[in-house]
A and B are shown apart, each in its own frame.
Chain A
C-alpha cells in the first residue's frame, strides 16, 4: 500500500483526509481516555502518603508532557514553513498553538489543585510549574502575533520565526528556572517527587498520555480543516466540495 504522501501537501487534497482521520482519532481518544480514567480512578491503589488527591496526576502529567511535545511539533512545522514555503505546514503550526496553550493551562490548573491538598499551597514556584507557565506565555505570544498581522502569508512566516526562536529558548528557560529553583527552594516542594509509581499508576499515566495524543491530533486536524476553509475562501474547489456534500452523502 504505497501512499504518495506529497499528494496531500496541498490544502485541497488534505482537507478530506483530515476529516476522516479526525473522526477516527477522536473516537480512539475517547476510548483511551475512558480506559485511562478507569485505571486511574478505580484500579490504581490509594497512595500511602498523598491519599486519593494524587489521582489528579493522571490528567496533570499527560497535559504537561503534551504541552512540551506540541511545542516541538509546532516548531517542526514552522521549520517546514520557512524551508519549503508551503501553506499547509503553516496551517498545521497555526492549528497546534491553541491546543498547546490549552494543555499548558490544564497542567498549571491541575498542578495547583494537586498542590493544595498535598503541600497546602496552590502555587509554589517550583521549577516545572514555572517553566510550564513561561511555556504558556510563549504559546500565547505566537497566537497573539498571528492575530496581529493582517496578511496571512506574512503572519505564517513571522509566527514560524517566533516559534523557532522560542523552541531554541525553551531548553535554556527550563535549565535556568531549574537552577534558580534549586538555589532558592531546596527540594521541600517538588512536583517531580510524585508518589512512588505502582505499575498500575504508570500504566494509567501512559494510557492517558496516549489518549491526549489522539485527542490532540484529532482536534488539530479538525482545526486545520476550519483554517483551510477560512483561508482558501474564494478558491473554486471549496464550493464544489460543499456542493458535493449537500447533494450526496456527507
Chain B
C-alpha cells in the first residue's frame, strides 16, 4: 500500500515567521482563542496518549482499590470502626494514588523530547500545562472520585456521607493534580524520582486532606459540611489561577 515516490514541491515562497506573530497584533480575541486552543490541544493529546496506555491507568486504579481494601484487614471489620476510619482511609489512599500517577504527567514527555517542543511552541506554556493537568485529573482524580461511593459503602458509610465524600473528592482531586504537577515538574531530571516527589508534595497536600476528610467526618457527626466544601472550592479556585504559572516556570527550569 505505497504510493509511487514523487518529488515533493518544497514551498519556495519567502519564509516568514509563524502566523502567531501576525495574530498577536490582531487583538485580545485572538489571544483568548490561542489560550483556549492551547489548553484544548494539550488536553486532547494527553488524553489520547493516556487512553492508548489503558493498562497503566488501570493499574493505578487497582492500586487505589487494593490499598483501601487492606486497611480493614489491618484494623477491624466492625462497622463503627470502619465508619470512623473510612473518610481518612479513602482520602489518604486517593493522595497516594495521585502520587503514583504524577510522574506520568511530565516525565515521559521530558524523556522523549516532546516537552521541549511544547515549551518552544508559540502558544503560552501556562495554557499548555493547564491542559496537561486537566487531562491528568480526568484520567486519575475523576475515576478515583467516581469509585468513591462504591468503596465507601465497603466502609459502612451511609448515603449522605457517600455524597459528601464524592463531592469532596471531586473538589479535592483537581487540587492534588495541580499541586502535584509543581512537584512533578521540579523533579524532572533530578535523582530520587518518585520518592523525592512524594517528600515535596505531601506536606502541600495536608490542607486538602484536612478539609476533604473533615467534610465527611462533619456529616458523620451530624454537622454541615458546607464550610469544608466551601474552603475546598476556594482552594481549588486559587490553585487553578496561581499554580499553572508556577508549573510553567518549573518546566522551563527543568529544560534549561
Indicate whether A and B are direct neighbours in the complex (CB within 8 Å). Answer: yes
Query: What is the interface of chain A, defined by CB distance below 8 A to chain B?
Result: 82, 134, 137-138, 140-141, 144-145, 148-151, 153-154, 157-158, 161-162, 164-166, 168-169, 172-173, 175-177, 179-180, 183
Partner of A173, one of B187, B196, B207, B249: B207
Instruction: Give bound CA distance, A162 to B190, whole Å.
Output: 14
- Which of B46-54, B138-146, B162-170, B197-205 touches A? B197-205
Please determine whether B199 and A177 come into contact, CB atoms closer than 8 angstroms.
Answer: no
Please determine whether B196 and A172 come into contact, CB atoms closer than 8 angstroms.
Answer: no
Please determine whether A154 and B186 come into contact, CB atoms closer than 8 angstroms.
Answer: no
Partner of B249, one of A145, A149, A161, A177: A161
Count residues of B near A (Cβ-Cβ below 8 Å): 27
Residues of B within 8 A of A179 (CB): 210-211, 214
Please determine whether A137 and B202 come into contact, CB atoms closer than 8 angstroms.
Answer: yes
A-B contact pairs, 20 of them (CB 8 A): A82-B249, A134-B203, A144-B199, A149-B190, A149-B191, A150-B191, A154-B254, A154-B256, A158-B250, A158-B253, A158-B254, A161-B249, A165-B182, A169-B203, A172-B207, A172-B235, A173-B203, A176-B231, A177-B210, A179-B214
Instruction: Give bound CA distance, A157 to B252, whole Å.
Output: 10
Residues of B within 8 A of A150 (CB): 191
Residues of A within 8 A of B211 (CB): 176, 179
B189 within 8 Å of A (CB atoms): yes
B206 within 8 Å of A (CB atoms): yes
Residues of B within 8 A of A149 (CB): 189-191
Please determine whether A177 and B200 come into contact, CB atoms closer than 8 angstroms.
Answer: no
Closest 7 CB pairs of A and B: A176-B207, A148-B190, A137-B203, A141-B200, A157-B253, A176-B210, A180-B210
| Given A148-B190, A158-B253: A176 in contact with B206 (beta carbons within 8 A) | yes
Contact residues of B between 217 and 256, Cβ < 8 Å to A = 231, 235, 242, 246, 249-250, 253-254, 256
B55 within 8 Å of A (CB atoms): no
Query: What is the interface of chain B, defined by CB distance below 8 A to chain A?
Result: 182, 186-187, 189-192, 196, 199-200, 202-204, 206-207, 210-211, 214, 231, 235, 242, 246, 249-250, 253-254, 256
| Given A154-B253, A168-B242, A183-B214: A145 in contact with B206 (beta carbons within 8 A) | no
Please determine whether B187 and A148 come into contact, CB atoms closer than 8 angstroms.
Answer: yes
Q: How far is the CB of A104 from chain B (nearest CB, A)?
A: 12
Please determine whether A148 and B196 come into contact, CB atoms closer than 8 angstroms.
Answer: yes
Q: How far is the CB of A88 from chain B (nearest CB, A)?
A: 19
Main secondary structure of the interface of B (DSSP, over half): helix
Please determine whether B186 and A162 come into contact, CB atoms closer than 8 angstroms.
Answer: yes
Instruction: Give bound CA distance, A126 to B5, whole Å.
Output: 75
Which chain B residue lies CB-closest to A153? B256
Q: How far is the CB of B196 from chain A (nearest CB, A)?
A: 5
Residues of A within 8 A of B206 (CB): 134, 173, 176-177
Residues of B within 8 A of A173 (CB): 203-204, 206-207
Instruction: Give bound CA distance, A141 to B231, whole Å.
Output: 26
| Given A148-B191, A148-B192, A176-B211: A162 in contact with B253 (beta carbons within 8 A) | no
Which chain A residue lies CB-closest to B195? A144
Instruction: Give bound CA distance, A137 to B210, whole Å.
Output: 17
Q: A148-B190, A165-B204, A169-B207 are in contact. List 7 more A-B contacts (CB 8 A).
A: A144-B199, A148-B187, A151-B256, A158-B253, A161-B186, A165-B246, A177-B206
Which chain A residue lies CB-closest to B186? A158
Partner of A141, one of B203, B242, B249: B203
Q: How far is the CB of B27 from chain A (nearest CB, A)?
A: 30
Instruction: Give bound CA distance, A161 to B200, whole Å.
Output: 12
Residues of A within 8 A of B182 (CB): 161-162, 165
Q: How far is the CB of B160 from chain A (nearest CB, A)?
A: 19
Q: How far is the CB of B225 from chain A (nearest CB, A)?
A: 12
Q: How far is the CB of A133 from chain B (nearest CB, A)?
A: 9
Residues of B within 8 A of A180 (CB): 210, 214
Instruction: Give bound CA distance, A183 to B216, whole Å.
Output: 13
Residues of A within 8 A of B200 (CB): 141, 144-145, 162
Instruction: Give bound CA distance, A154 to B191, whole Å.
Output: 13
| Given A158-B186, A166-B204, A172-B207: A144 in contact with B253 (beta carbons within 8 A) | no
Instruction: Give bound CA distance, A140 to B203, whole Å.
Output: 11
Residues of B within 8 A of A166 (CB): 203-204
Instruction: Give bound CA distance, A134 to B250, whole Å.
Output: 23
Instruction: Give bound CA distance, A148 to B206, whole Å.
Output: 24
